[in-house]
Every structure is written in C-alpha cells, then in structure tokens.
Amino acid sequence: MTTFAVKFLGCKVSQADAMLARQALLAAGHAEAPEDEAELHVINTCCITREAEGKSRHSVRRSLKAARQVYVGGCAVNLDAAQFADIDPRVKPFPGTADDAAAAMAERLGGCADLKHDVLARERRAESHGAGRTRGFVKVQDGCDCHCAYCIIPTVRGAARSRPASAVVDEVRRRVQQGQPEMVITGISVGDYSDPERGLELGQLMVEVARLPGVERVRLSSVEVIHVKDSLLEALAGEPKVCPHLHIPMQSGDDTVLREMGRHYTSAEYQQQIETLRAAVPRVNITTDAIVGFPTESEAAFERTLDAIDRACISRVHTFPYSPRPGTVADSLGDRVPPDEKKRRSQALRGRSELRSRRHRTAKLGRRERVLVDKVADVQCSGYTADYTRCYLPAGAGRRGELVDVVCEELHADGIACRVPGWAGLS
C-alpha cells in the first residue's frame, strides 16, 4: 500500500480528472494522506497559458521536497510530457485521457489489471472515501471543436465527445450516496453536450439529474454563449434545483478582436443572448472570462470590453493576460501589447469586476437566501447561495452539506455576512 495526495491546477475539469485518479488509487487499495505525509503526489496539470504551465512545473518541484514519487497527468503533460520527465527521475508523466492516466497510475502501483476498462467499478469501490465533500464535479463531456485562435486545449484534449446520460445518472446516484447534495456539471465544451444514447441536450440532462432523489442542486461550471440553447433556458426557468448562475466567457467586447480570436459571435450577439437569458431567468447571476492584451487589442478595444461588461451586468470577471501558445493560430501574431500595459488593463478589469461584484452583493442585503454549507470552522461557517454568492454564517449555525435559510445583512470582503432566523446560537 502507498500513501498518496492529489492536487490539480486549472479548471473544474482538471479537478474532476484529479478526483478520477484519486478514486482509482483508493480502489486499488492505496491510502490518501496529507501532502506532507504522502509518499506519492499525484498532480493534474494545466496548460491554458504559459503561466499555468509554469505553475504546473513549479508544483511538481515543490512536491519533490515532500514526496518520494510524483505522478503527473493532464493537459500540460499531453502537450509536452518531457518537460516533466526532465525535472527529476522520480517524476513519472502519464499522458492520455483522464481514464487511461488514472488506470495506468493505479496499475503502476499494483492496482487491478481491469481498472482501465472498469471505471464504474473502481468508483463503487471508492465510494466510502467521498464523505465530507458537499459538491460533486461530474464530467459529462470532454474535448472541443471551437478552435479559438489563442487556445491549445483542442490539441491536448481532442475533439468534442459526450458521455452517455445513463453513466452520468449512475455517477450522480453514487455521489448522493456519498453525501454530496450538489452536482456541478462540467466539461471542456460542456454546452456542446449531446447524449449519444438518447440525444439529450445539456439542459435536458441537467433536469434529469435534478430530479434524482437526494439531489438538492445542479450547477453548471461554464458554458459558451453560442451554447446557451432553449433547452438550457427551459431548465433554468422551469426546474428549481437548477442553479440560476451561468459562467459565460466573453473574452472581449470588441468585434475585431473577437473575430481575430476565432470566437463565434459578435459583441452584439453576446449581449442579445444575455438579454434573452435574463428575460427567461430574471434573477440569473452571470460571471465571465476576459482576455486582456490580445495582440490586436487597442486601448479603444479594451474600453469596449469594459463597456460590454457593464451592459451585460456581469457580476464577476476572471481576468487573463494574453500569453502566446506555440501551436495556436494566434501565436503568429506575436505578443504586441507590452507587459506593463497588460498589467494596467488587468488591474482596471479587476477593479471593474470588484465594483460589479459589490453591486450584486449589495442588492441582496435584507433578502432571504438559502445557503448550502460547505465549510465549517470554530469562528464561522460558510457556503453558497443558488446563484453562487458566498455567504458567511455564525459558527454552529449549519452543518456541512445542510441547506440553511438566512437573511443577508452585511457586506463581507468576498461575500455576505448573514444571520439565521430562529437560531439561538446553540450548536
């Protein structure tokens, strides 16, 4: 038996893939341990930017100080496995799909020979180790067909492909048994989902998941604006357990930049879809991604992005300074925007994001909300509303995995401080 710890860098899909490796090792008879005690560290890497790739290598080097071995998988490994193998002989890269990498890791440590072809069985054997996690990340789709000019992900993840709805439902049922009341539906291009068995679209799948016994919430990780289809709007508007929060990447509010990025919409089309979404789901919370410093982004183009964020009433912006990726179309454009200017634009965009976030949270003051508690500590506990607003409750006011009715009272640095009606302060 080997003790191990699992880490991931990047997106929710990377997290789901890391948990797949965790399940495979647990099912093979190995034991999870704190990072500073584990013999083996398993790291799922990211290569969405050069910075992410560098952070992945740094994470490996840091793990080598504590662990005897480091196994690495994920996007950066699929892009260039040698950059990790060359760090140290104790580092073993596992390229390939998440299923194959997880199975290979378990087999290398003495796991069952049939793991590669028995994903569901290994998840069942690892069920007892899921306790304490309130949110289950369920990957329903992998790969991408969009081929944006700046993005390397289609190269390392391949073409879009969807998981059968029956397999998704089976996984959700097991996660409910593990005590996870909220399901986060995730994928690389998750809005492209199409059930290969019955033809269900993403929204229809989410409704089916929401109606399973024990599921309290169904959340979507991220979706492209071109994939906000009628079935998704119907799910958001008609199924109370489908959370009214969508993360819809904008990337730019300038049409020329969007065209050169290889995005498949104009700024006006993005805004129109947001208006359609808000008409169907008035209380929806929309967050977004934006890239600053794309090679052809002028100051005027950047200002149009700021304006577009205001017009769409975005509540939070994840900001990414552009960095060229070899092998992408945009790499031929060079890196024209100076680093200091990228930094200035990033700071301006983050400032706008904080302003919009504060407005979103201020509008909730005095309102009743329902919070799913996911963190419990001696000083306070906290969790998220259905629209993904962090709320803080008094210590003892809720147990992990419990839905608690609260009243929003005061702005917190990154959320809202709340009181719990009828709670007398006794744990």
**Domain match, 37 and 96 both:** yes
Give the model's pLDDT for residue 111: 55
* Same structural domain, 301 and 192: no
The answer to whether residue 257 sits within a structural domain is yes
> Phi and psi dihedrals of 304, rounded to 5?
-65, -30
Q: Which domain CATH number covers 2?
A: 3.40.50.12160
Q: Which of 125, 147, 164 is the last residue before a domain boundary?
A: 125
Residue 232 belongs to a domain with what CATH number?
Answer: 3.30.750.210
Do 22 and 119 lie in a common domain? yes
- 237, 194: one domain: yes
Rounded alpha-carbon distances, angstroms, from residue 172 to 21, 169, 218, 272: 18, 5, 10, 34
Question: pLDDT digits over 24-46, tens only?
Answer: 999 999 999 999 999 999 999 99
Please report the pLDDT score of residue 121 as a whole number: 44
Considering the domain architecture, whether residues 248 and 297 belong to the same structural domain is answered as yes
Residues 215 and 251 grouped into a single domain: no
pLDDT tens column, 286-297 = 999 999 999 999
5 shares a domain with 111 = yes
Same domain, 303 and 316: yes
Average pLDDT rounded to a whole number, residues 234-249? 97
Residue 9 lies in a domain: yes
Other beta carbons within 10 angstroms of residue 189's beta carbon come to 23
- Residue 86: the pLDDT is 97
Does 284 fall in a domain? yes
CA distances from 70 to 2, 56, 95, 183, 297 (A): 12, 12, 14, 30, 40
pLDDT in tens, 53-69: 999 999 999 999 999 99
Question: What average pLDDT does range 265-272 have in this prediction?
Answer: 98
On whether the pTM is more than 0.85, the answer is: yes
Tell me the mean pLDDT in the region 142-159. 94
CA–CA gap between residue 292 and residue 351 (Å, rounded): 14
Q: Quick check: is 425 in a domain? A: no
* In a domain? residue 424: no
Q: Do 259 and 225 belong together in one domain?
A: no
Two structure tokens written together for 158 = 């391949």
CATH number at residue 384: 2.40.50
Question: How far apart are alpha carbons 10 and 124 in whole angstroms?
Answer: 27
How many residues does the structure list for the chain?
Answer: 427
Q: pLDDT tier at 49 (50, 70, 90 boundaries)?
A: confident
Share of the chain above pLDDT 70, in %: 94
CA distances to 25, 83, 157, 229, 252 from 331, rounded to whole Å, are: 39, 20, 19, 32, 18
Q: Tally the domains of the chain.
A: 4
Q: What is the pLDDT of residues 291-315, one digit of tens each?
A: 999 999 999 999 999 999 999 999 9
Query: In terms of domains, do 71 and 144 share one?
Result: no
pLDDT in tens, 156-177: 999 999 999 999 999 999 999 9
**Domain that includes residue 376, residue range:** 368-419
Task: Tell me, yes or no, whether 426 lies in a domain.
Answer: no
